[in-house]
Structures are given as C-alpha cells and as structure tokens.
Structure 1
Amino acid sequence: MKPTLTNDEVGSMEYNLSINKIWKQYQEMGQYMGGEIRMDIFNSWEDSKKLGISPFQKKINEIITQTDLDDRLEKNKELLTVATPQIKNLSDLLNESKTMFSIADNYGTVLYSEGEKKILKKAEKINILTGGTWSEKSAGTNAVGLALKTKQYSQVLFSEHYCEKNHEWFCAAFPVLYPFTNELLGVINIAGCNNQLNQQHIKLIFSEANQISKSINQYFFKYALRNHLFLNTALEGVEDAVFIVDGGKSIIEKNAAAKSHSLLSDVQTLNSIPKLNRFVEFVLHNGQQVLREEVCLHHKNKQKFICSIYPVTFQDEILGAVIFFRKNTELSIAKPQKPNRIQSRDSQSTRYSFDDMIGSSKAFTDIVKKAQKATMIDTTVFLSGETGTGKELFAQSIHQGSNRSDKPFVAINCGAVPHSLLESELFGYESGAFTGAKSKGSPGKFELAQGGTIFLDEIGDMPLDLQVHLLRLLEERVVTRLGGGKPIPLDVRVIAATHKNLKEAVQKGEFREDLLYRLNVIQLRIPALRERSSDIPALIYHFINIMGGEFGKRDIVVQPDTMQYLTQYHWPGNIRELKNVIQQSLFNMEGNSLSPFDLPPELLDCPVEEDEKDRLIEAMIQEDGNVTNAAKILDISRATMYRKIKQFQLTAEDWKGKM
C-alpha cells in the first residue's frame, strides 16, 4: 500500500481510475483485494464500514441546529477572526480554480466557507455547508475526518472517499493545533470537484492553504505566549519540577528541574502514579484546580511531593494541565511555636484570611464579624450561600484566625468527586480494599487534616449512604479506613458549606435530618452580591488592580455609565461571575478607559441599553456618520464601535435623516 502521494499523482486521472477499481472491489467483495492504495485511506475505509456508513449515502448525515451553530461560532470567534480575512483574500484564485475553502471546528463542523459560486452550490447539495459536520462518523473517509483523527495534514482524492457520491471531489485538510498541548482547535480544508485540474493550480491552492494554516498556528503560538505566559515561565523560571500534560493525560513536556530529578526524570506516563493520575483526570474533567495534594511516586520510595495541578483552557476547551511538584519537607518539620500568618498561609494550603475580605456594606461586615467570632470557638461551622459568594474564602479565613492555623487545611468538593471515589477520598482505604488500591493503602482527607480543619464543600451533594458514615465520624470522632477495622482517633475541625436549602432537602429525603443538626452548630449565611451592591465598586477596582497587568493595562478608568451597568446587574453568579466579567472586559477594552461597550452583552440587557444606543446614534449624527470620529467622542475603539452598531442592529438610516 502507498503511504503518500506525489504531486503528479494528485491530479492524475490514471491514479483516480486505479483507486476507483480498488474501491469497487472492496465494496463488492467486502475486503481489500490488492492494489496501490495508501494505508491511511484503507484504514479509514475499514473504520467507516465499522461505523455503519453507507458507501452510497448521498449527503452528510449530521447537521447541527442553529442554536448549536451559534454557540460554536461564538466559541470559535478567535479562530474565525484570524482565518476569515485570509481566505477572503483568495477569492480570485478560488474562482479561477473552481475550488472552496472551509473552516471547521474541532468536531469537524463547518463554520465558514468561501469559494466559487457553482462549487459552493454543489457542495450544499451534499450538506458541505455551514453547520454540516464533515467527520468520518457522518461522511465516511474524507480529509477533514482524517485530520480530526490524526491531527496531521490529510488529503483525500476522488475515489479515495468512502462514499461514492464524493468520488468527484478532492480535498486537503490542514489542522490548527494549540501550542504546548497540541490540542486540535480546528481544521482548514480546501476542496474542489474538477478532476482535470492542472498541476499548477493544485500546487498553488495547496500552498496557499498550507500558508494560511501556518499563519493561524503562528498566531495561536503568539497568543499562548502572550496570554498564558505561566506555561512558558513555569518550565524554567521556577524551582519546582513541572510537567505539562495534554488532554489525553500524556506528558508532553518537562522543565529542567523535572528532567534532572532522580525520580521524576524517569516518569514516562501518569499511569505509573495512580493517585496523581486520578487528580489530573479530575482537573481535566471538571476544569478545577487541585492544590497542594500529597503524592508518593512509588511504593518502594519514601519520597513524597506536594502537587498542585492547574487546567489550561482556551475557547472553553480544556487543553491540558500543568503539574507542579514540590518536595514535601514541611510535614516533617517540628513547629515549636505558632508561625506568623504569612508562613501559615503558605505552608498549610490556604491563600485567604480576613485581610482579603473586601466590602463595607452592613450585610457583609455583619457576617465577617460573626466569622471572626467563630475563630475563637473550636466547633463545627456551617456556611450557606449561593454559588460564587466566597464560601471557601470564609472557610480559609476562619481556619487562619483559629488556633489551628499552623495545622493543615484540607478542602474537598463533595459534589465534584465521583460517588464511587468519594468514600475512599474522605475516609481512606487499606491495602486490597478494592481493585487498584495501593499496596499500603492510603489516608483519607480526614486523616490528612489531623489537628487542622477539613472543609466539606457542597455537602448537600453527598450521597445518603455516605452521610451515615459522616454522622458516625462526627459523633465518635474516629475514622475507619475502607476495608479496615482499626478506628483512628481524629482531632479535626469541620467546616461544611452548600448552596442548597438543606431543610428542603431533608423534606425530600435527600439529606439526613440528624446530620443537618450535627453540622448546623454555628451557621453563617454569606450574602449574595445583589444583597451588598454597595460593595461592587470596591470589588471591581480590586479585580482590575490584580488582573490589569495580565492584559498590559495600567491606570484604568471606569466610565460612570459602565459602573452603572455593573452595579445594577443582578449577578446570578455572584463574585465569581463579577471577576469573570471584569476579565472579559479588560480583554475587550482598548486604551485605559473601561466603557459600556467593553462589557459582555448580557450586562447590557437592561433599561440603560437604550441610553447607550441613543448616545451612539447621537455621536454618529454629530460626526456626519464618520465612525472613527464618533468612536473618539465615545472614548471607544473603532472596532468596538462597529461591534456595537452590529449589536444594536443599526444602519445608516438611523442617523442619516437626522444629520
């Protein structure tokens, strides 16, 4: 079988006839009967057959809904912004060669196409159009499908396609890969159906497609360096050993500290470190950080590390993760006296204290005072409040202010850990407790928090059968590992939290009433952000100060109208949502003035929106329709001006008749 094609073979009628003969034999006999065909094409034929693709289907099977398409277009805005102008510049060449360019996402769904009109119309008949999913699963063997599968340049010519309806087409697909993690962001595809295409056209079109693919990959490489500098800095700029893993948990890079380490240098796969493998799987699945967890590399070696794992995301996709290894020395160091606050926060897995609390509203200061009072009483605390209100900030602050501050603070989200793993995560297990268990067993979170504080976040999502075990533990103050019989005495303070109404959960039979009473000793309800709206300006400037440098912004001014939008919004996601909105707005803004035009659209769906629209029209009237000058009046960029004109669906008629 042939591995690749030469340029002469690409447009060769002889080659096409040869492949067509092999294809017919394959379909009639159900197997490969010999001949010159590329291995990747034959393998794809076999896969297409296994997927149940009919070789005689007349069009692509899968077209996504308009709602899904809108989501995909928004998600891939960065890719489209970079690729679309370059493809439009090739319109003359596409018309001359009777070909088309398409941009597909990482699922193979076409997001944009440009090309000669007759070719585009012909492509639409077989559902090669915006929203059509050009994958192996929906269309059999094709170039985009191969690129999705291999992350490599792929070409499928005429009868190499699995479906006969596509035998008049040729296509070549160029993958767009994200730097560092090598995750697929999308595919650039060139296609045509002229089997008499001359060699010069083939070379020119394929060369242009290749250049566009390279330029897009180069853009994202620069983007990664600019917006994710920690990936580059982490490799050589820190003392910790660092692994970078992709979305499949494969180790794709190590920094110098890891490569020179006597143990870490030999680690080739995360499967050799089961506990770390589980943590990374959790991070990749949930997109949440795992901070300062103890990991032992090998049961024969006593060396332990404190690991922190951070997800790497782009366009809402989790591309991989960065793992930091720090030698675990502090657990064995005796501490004869209480360390100062900074040392405690650094060494005991906490980042926050009451000094980090921001807000002067009565609703907020009242609850802070109660939380500070709780630090002096060594008993169970129950935190309630909506998602994003800062329950963990309060939990860490209570720990930091208590006489347990020099001991561990261990947090676990009861709703994020799979139910099958939660019991062993909380209570630990002995050797042989279940398949895959460590030979020496493993301590649970309660044991790891010995002498300190355990934070049980989203306690309302804990399964009923585990609630029984937790109740017994709280009453008896001992823990028994899974598969073990020896009770281990505990000295641990419990702080529990949830966004659910547990009294309603009790009535529905979803939560034990006796456990609720055991947890609800000191109850603190964290107010929602809309209940402390006077604190919003202070929070806004706090997030601007800590995140502005990430976007190269200094001395940022928030326009009065912008502040009005931000303070009157209802903030269903609370402080977490506010932080995300400020981050997005800093990305959108030009210069150092944060205007309403820089805010996400959902914040503008309120009465003030009409005022903004009117001000935009007035500026266009004042400047006789000159977009650049009108943008200067509004103190926004020209690009933002065009975006807002489109958002409000304005046309020249809205200001021409009034000038």
Structure 2
Amino acid sequence: MSSGYSKAHVEHVSRVLRTAQSAPTLPVPSSIVDSWRRSVQHHQLDPGSLQGPRVLEAHQLNEHRERIDDFLRLAGDEIGRLHHRVRDADYCVMLTDTLGCTVDYCIDSTIRGEYRRAGIDLGTCWTESEEGTTAVCAVLIDKQPITVHKQDHFRAAFIGNTCSAAPVFSPSGELFAVLDVSAIRSPDDRRSQHLIRQMVIQSAAEIENAYFMYSTQDLWVLRAHPFPGYVDSQPQFLFAWDSDGVIQALNPAARRLLLQRHGRIPDTVDEAFISDRLPDRADDTVHYLSALNLHVRLKAPRRRPSARATGKVVEALDPTVARTLELAVRVKDRGLPVLIHGETGAGKEHFALQLHAASKRKDKPFVAINCAAIPENLIESELFGYSAGAFTGASSKGMRGLLQQADGGTLFLDEIGDMPLTLQTRLLRALSEGQVSPLGASRPQPIDIQVVCASHRDLVTLVEQGTFREDLYFRLNGARFDIPPLRERTDKLALINKLLDEEFTRSAERFQLSDAALEMLLNYSWPGNMRQLHHALRYACAVCASQVIGVEDLPVTLAISAPVNGEETSAGDPERQALIDTLVRNRWKPVLAAQELGISRATLYRRVNQHGIKMPGKGSYN
C-alpha cells in the first residue's frame, strides 16, 4: 500500500467525520462512522497507518486456544466446509475468540504467504483499540453480522481488504467467538459481498448448534424447525433443560422466540411452553406444535457407551497407559475412590472418561468440574447447588449442584488440590454422610456418587503445608494411578499420526511431516504433554505453506532443547532466545542466520553449541 493511498484514505476519513452530523447521506454505514469516531477520539489511532496487526507468539496463541479447546474441535469442521465453498474466489476463513485473537484459520496453501504479508494470519489480533474498524472488531462490539468493505476499514493498511463476520454465541447466550471470511482483492461494490455475508451467518449458526448439542448431552434437548425435514439436520430452534425442567441453554433463535412470546426468558420448560403439548418421551417421532407452527423432536440425556461393548478398554497404544486403566477399572468397580496424578495436559480427564465408560456405572452420569477454573465465589453453588431465592441473582427455581447431577454415577474433580479449604470441609461431609445440603435448603438430600479426582500437584505435600485436609486426602485416595507424561510414552508416533488424520478430516488437507520436523517432535520433552502436541500440530498445519510440515512451521518453543553435557542453561537467556528467533526466521538455514547476525558460520555453530540448541536433524556442533 503506497503513501499516496494512505494520504487519500486519511482525507476520506476526516471528510466523513467532519460532515457526519449534517450530511443527508453518508458513503459508509452509520455503524462504521461510529467506529471511526471511537478510533480517533478514544483510541487515538492514525487512519494513515500502514502497520500490520499484532501477532501472538506461539505460546500465547496456544494459551488462547486451550481456553476453548473443545469448541475449536467442533468449529473446525464447519470452518473447513465454509472454506471449501469460498476458496475458488481466494477467500480465507478465520475464527477469533472474544479477545479478537485469530485462533483458527483456513486458507489455500498457494495464497497463504500473500495473505500473511497482508496481515491476515493465524494469531493476528483484531481489536478496535489496536486496529480501528474491521469486521471482527465491529462484531465484538455490536454482536451483529457485518461486512466491512475496503475503505470502510479505519486504517489504510486494510483498505484493500473485504471482510464479512458474524457472532457465534454460547448455549448460555454469551458471545463466544467471531467467524470471519476475508479477501485481499474484491470488486469495489459492497453489494458483491452480500452472498458471502449470508454464508458466514449460516456457518456461524451451524457452529452454534454443533457446540450446543455437544454442551447439552446430559440435558433434555428439544430441536425445532418450521419444516419437519430439517428438525434433525438443521434445527432452527434449540431448547435444553435439566431433569427438574429448569431451562439451562437456548440457541439465539430460541432465545429470540421466547423473548418475543413472553417478554423475558422463562425459568422452566413448563412456563416456556405453557399452552403447548410437548412430546412426553424421547423417540424418533417428529411432533407438531400448532401454537408455534413448529415441528419438534425431543432428545433424552445421553447414556454413556460402554467401552467393554466395543471390546476396547483403552484407545492408547502405550502398554503402561492401557495397563493402568485396566487396574483402575477393577479398583473403581470395587467401590473405591480413584486419585489420578499426572502432569498438566497429560490426559487426566480423558483417562477419567475412559475409566467411567469401562466401569459398572457406565450408564449413569459422568459429571466433571475443574476446581482450578471456577472462581472461588462460584464453586460452592456449582458443587452443592442452591434452592430458590438462596441469594441475590439466584434463579427463582433454584439449581441442582454437580453432586446431585452425578447421583448414581461418577463425579470427576479435576485439580482437586486447588479446592479452597472451606469447600474441602463441605465435600468431606457430603462424601462421609452420603447427602448434600444445597445453599438455602432446609433439609439435606441423599446422593450416591463415586468420586474420581485428579491433580498435577502432590497432595501429600499440600497436606504437609496445611492447604489440603488430611482426612479428605485419605477419603479420596482409595488408590492412586499415575498417568505417564508424553515424553515417556512409546506411542508418540501413533499419536502424531492420529492427530494429523483428525486435521485431514477437519480441513480436507493432508499434511505430512518432513524427517527433520518428525525428529523434533519425537525428541522434544513436551512439558505441556498431549495438549501441547495437539496445539503444535494444529499450529503447524495452519501456517504451513505446502502439504509438508517443516521445522520452520513448528512453534519456536520446540526448538529449545535440553543443555548439552548436563550444563544448566537459562531458558530466559536473551542471547539464546535471540539466536533461536533468528534461526527460525531464516528457516534454520545457518548461512542466512549467520548473515543476519553478521557473524561467520563457524561462530554461529559455536554459539549454537554453547547454548545447547539442537539444530533440526543434527546434534550439537563442535
């Protein structure tokens, strides 16, 4: 983008803002003008700026992705389908989180480099305070679909782009993500993007519904559509409620329908459908609600499949993991509580799910809670529930706690070591007495649950430090099972291939690893374990410019290996990090890296050796 274009755009923005109050018509939508005004007055941005957007480091991107990991796995399928429909016109598809960070990205490999140079890439950040007016920024603020076309963008760096975006809402009605389709070349007429915007809106709804069905597997779900043939394949309305009839989730269309019908969101399904005859049981029959002119089908809460029914107790190929699961199943079926210990990301929750699915309680609920992820002021009501009117803001119908929801089945308490001491006391009492007292309830309610706990921390040490109750520790530790970290597993190659197969299913692109990249993956220590491996491969697939993943496509953190000769080397050494960054920028080519640093290749090799950096496919250099 030339300085002439930049100057002309500054004049265009200034002219529109000066005349916005008095002009009868404007060359851009009023919402765009409002965003421009905020960009100037509140964010103090320069419309003539040609600088690209901020890009997250690999470890920062992984942190953003980990927060919505399950959602990304579901959204990826629809992102791939949407890209397949628009790829011939050189569009890319991206998904951002609610902070505006691009956490998933799909683009044809032949144009990926060109888009990256234009500032559109995985890990780019799109907030109005940083980039001014873009489609993603507008959706984050207004929560409405929009097309921001060429000169609608505030900053001159983006006036060649066209972007159409739509919000993706969670089952609870909160903004969860933004889906965007962008191109760096398009016709000047904004109307050329109308069909693209409709496709984005439709795909955002598909993602919403897929995540809704995934998140409500343990609830009653009513699917509805005006036409019976679409009730299962493309339901327009989704309602979910618990066994007490309390509404727990609605998709945006269902939320709008209830607001239009009642002026508010009713607490219970009986109140929501007071004049309608809902199906009295879940089956394959599609029913008709005449009052709403909707065809509906009711889905019952899931019954978890038995791992034994398929002849499989464990998916893992590693014999240690398989044997550990077999022993844990025997212990659990004897009624003993199970404590799972393992590093962060080693797969403790997945192990607990397999354990439940292979146990005698396989057909009963499996309820999980991460004690470290829920604020301390909410975890009590989440665990124990509350009665109607127990506190300000409480539902008028109350809420069943997770202990009650797990009645008859398995309660999985992840990161139990982070549970506050006050709640440890209540949990111990509930487990000892076999009953729970919801907040505000006049009498306790009986429960029959089997507890499986997990922690990456040593609970014995926490007991000694006084942060974990000793009596609760002995109550929970019927038997302890250790999940090996990824670096100790013998099935890393099989796991890598399985994840690449999943990526092929998601994006229809078949990726292979170069010998050097595979060697780096197999030899890396994986402090983040399975979660880190998963994100590293998805990152590599996203940034790879071909179908062969090279070392340069892997996150830079994978290049940091153990020091040679057992010497201690600080991971925070700025010289070492600068050396690694230079090597990565130059695709691990020593000649280019040495030229950038202004040193000879011999000096480069010596510094690589001193800092314990292992070059791809090589050992340390002498």
Please confirm whether the aligned pair reaches a TM-score higher than 0.5, indicating the same fold: yes
Aligned 8 A contact 2:388 2:394 in 1: yes
- State the match for 1:53 in structure 2: 41
Q: 1:523 aligns with which of 471, 480, 491?
A: 480
Seen in structure 2, the aligned counterparts of structure 1 residues 419 and 564 have a Cα distance that, compared at 3 Å, is same
Per-residue CA distance 1:489-515 (angstroms, 9 max, x = gap): 221111111122333434554433332
- Shift of the alpha carbon at 1:353? 6.2
Aligned 8 A contact 1:359 1:539 in 2: no
Question: SS of the counterpart of 1:356?
Answer: coil
2:507 counterpart of 1:537: no
- State the match for 1:455 in structure 2: 412
Aligned 8 A contact 2:305 2:362 in 1: no
Seen in structure 2, the aligned counterparts of structure 1 residues 647 and 60 have a Cα distance that, compared at 3 Å, is farther
How do residues 459-478 of structure 1 correspond to structure 2 at under 5 angstroms?
459-478=416-435
Question: SS of the counterpart of 1:183?
Answer: strand
Higher relative contact order (CA 8 A, sep 6+): 2
- State the match for 1:386 in structure 2: 343
Per-residue CA distance 1:237-271 (angstroms, 9 max, x = gap): xxx99799xxxxxxxx979669759xx8677999x
Distance in 2 of aligned mates of 1:580 and 1:144: 23
- State the match for 2:319 in structure 1: 360
Question: SS of the counterpart of 1:389?
Answer: coil
Q: 2:249 aligns with which of 258, 276, 280?
A: 276
How do residues 296-307 of structure 1 correspond to structure 2 at under 5 angstroms?
297-299=269-271
Larger radius of gyration: 1
Aligned 8 A contact 1:432 1:438 in 2: yes
Seen in structure 2, the aligned counterparts of structure 1 residues 63 and 418 have a Cα distance that, compared at 3 Å, is farther
- Shift of the alpha carbon at 1:459? 1.5
- Shift of the alpha carbon at 1:579? 3.3
2:605 counterpart of 1:648: no
Could you tell which deviates more after superposition, 557-566 or 588-597? 588-597
- Shift of the alpha carbon at 1:366? 5.3
The one-letter code sitting in structure 2 at the alignment partner of 1:176 is C
2:415 counterpart of 1:420: no
- Shift of the alpha carbon at 1:564? 3.0
Distance in 2 of aligned mates of 1:580 and 1:69: 14
Seen in structure 2, the aligned counterparts of structure 1 residues 209 and 45 have a Cα distance that, compared at 3 Å, is closer
How do residues 79-90 of structure 1 correspond to structure 2 at under 5 angstroms?
85=114
Distance in 2 of aligned mates of 1:84 and 1:588: 9
2:367 counterpart of 1:404: no
Question: SS of the counterpart of 1:276?
Answer: strand
Distance in 2 of aligned mates of 1:592 and 1:511: 50
The one-letter code sitting in structure 2 at the alignment partner of 1:419 is E
Aligned 8 A contact 2:36 2:132 in 1: no
- State the match for 2:521 in structure 1: 566
2:424 counterpart of 1:500: no
Aligned 8 A contact 2:135 2:180 in 1: no
Aligned residues between the structures: 472
Aligned 8 A contact 2:364 2:409 in 1: yes
- Shift of the alpha carbon at 1:585? 4.9
- State the match for 1:114 in structure 2: none
Seen in structure 2, the aligned counterparts of structure 1 residues 366 and 437 have a Cα distance that, compared at 3 Å, is same
Question: SS of the counterpart of 2:398?
Answer: coil
Aligned 8 A contact 2:49 2:157 in 1: no
Distance in 1 of aligned mates of 2:524 and 2:42: 53
- State the match for 2:164 in structure 1: 177
- State the match for 1:341 in structure 2: 306
- Shift of the alpha carbon at 1:568? 1.4
- Shift of the alpha carbon at 1:449? 1.7
- Shift of the alpha carbon at 1:154? 7.0
The one-letter code sitting in structure 2 at the alignment partner of 1:328 is A
The one-letter code sitting in structure 2 at the alignment partner of 1:183 is V
Aligned 8 A contact 1:135 1:144 in 2: no
Aligned 8 A contact 1:242 1:254 in 2: no
- State the match for 2:445 in structure 1: 488
Distance in 1 of aligned mates of 2:469 and 2:299: 41
Seen in structure 2, the aligned counterparts of structure 1 residues 572 and 144 have a Cα distance that, compared at 3 Å, is closer
Distance in 1 of aligned mates of 2:206 and 2:231: 19
Seen in structure 2, the aligned counterparts of structure 1 residues 381 and 504 have a Cα distance that, compared at 3 Å, is same
Seen in structure 2, the aligned counterparts of structure 1 residues 465 and 450 have a Cα distance that, compared at 3 Å, is same
Aligned 8 A contact 1:106 1:186 in 2: no
How do residues 59-78 of structure 1 correspond to structure 2 at under 5 angstroms?
none
Distance in 1 of aligned mates of 2:380 and 2:374: 10
Distance in 1 of aligned mates of 2:31 and 2:462: 53
Aligned 8 A contact 1:147 1:154 in 2: no
Aligned 8 A contact 2:408 2:449 in 1: yes
Distance in 2 of aligned mates of 1:39 and 1:58: 21
- Shift of the alpha carbon at 1:522? 1.4
How do residues 51-450 of structure 1 correspond to structure 2 at under 5 angstroms?
53=41, 85=114, 107=126, 133-135=130-132, 151-153=146-148, 176-178=163-165, 181=168, 183=178, 185=180, 207-208=187-188, 231=206, 275-276=248-249, 297-299=269-271, 327-328=299-300, 341=306, 354-361=313-320, 364=321, 367-450=324-407
Seen in structure 2, the aligned counterparts of structure 1 residues 652 and 502 have a Cα distance that, compared at 3 Å, is closer
Distance in 1 of aligned mates of 2:116 and 2:346: 45
Distance in 2 of aligned mates of 1:147 and 1:442: 32
Seen in structure 2, the aligned counterparts of structure 1 residues 296 and 456 have a Cα distance that, compared at 3 Å, is farther
Seen in structure 2, the aligned counterparts of structure 1 residues 49 and 408 have a Cα distance that, compared at 3 Å, is closer
TM-score by length of structure 2 reads 0.56
Distance in 2 of aligned mates of 1:540 and 1:144: 33
Distance in 1 of aligned mates of 2:549 and 2:112: 28
Aligned 8 A contact 2:166 2:179 in 1: no
Seen in structure 2, the aligned counterparts of structure 1 residues 35 and 84 have a Cα distance that, compared at 3 Å, is same
Per-residue CA distance 1:263-315 (angstroms, 9 max, x = gap): x8677999x98622699xxxxxxxxxxxxxxx964546587999xxxxxxxxx
TM-score by length of structure 1 reads 0.53
The one-letter code sitting in structure 2 at the alignment partner of 1:455 is F
Per-residue CA distance 1:425-466 (angstroms, 9 max, x = gap): 222222222344344333222222222211111222223322
Distance in 2 of aligned mates of 1:559 and 1:221: 36
Seen in structure 2, the aligned counterparts of structure 1 residues 173 and 254 have a Cα distance that, compared at 3 Å, is farther
Distance in 2 of aligned mates of 1:440 and 1:210: 49
Seen in structure 2, the aligned counterparts of structure 1 residues 242 and 499 have a Cα distance that, compared at 3 Å, is closer
Aligned 8 A contact 2:337 2:476 in 1: yes
Aligned 8 A contact 1:147 1:187 in 2: no
Distance in 1 of aligned mates of 2:32 and 2:439: 47
Per-residue CA distance 1:378-427 (angstroms, 9 max, x = gap): 02111111122121233233323332223222222222233333222222
Distance in 1 of aligned mates of 2:422 and 2:397: 26
Seen in structure 2, the aligned counterparts of structure 1 residues 440 and 400 have a Cα distance that, compared at 3 Å, is same
- Shift of the alpha carbon at 1:176? 1.4
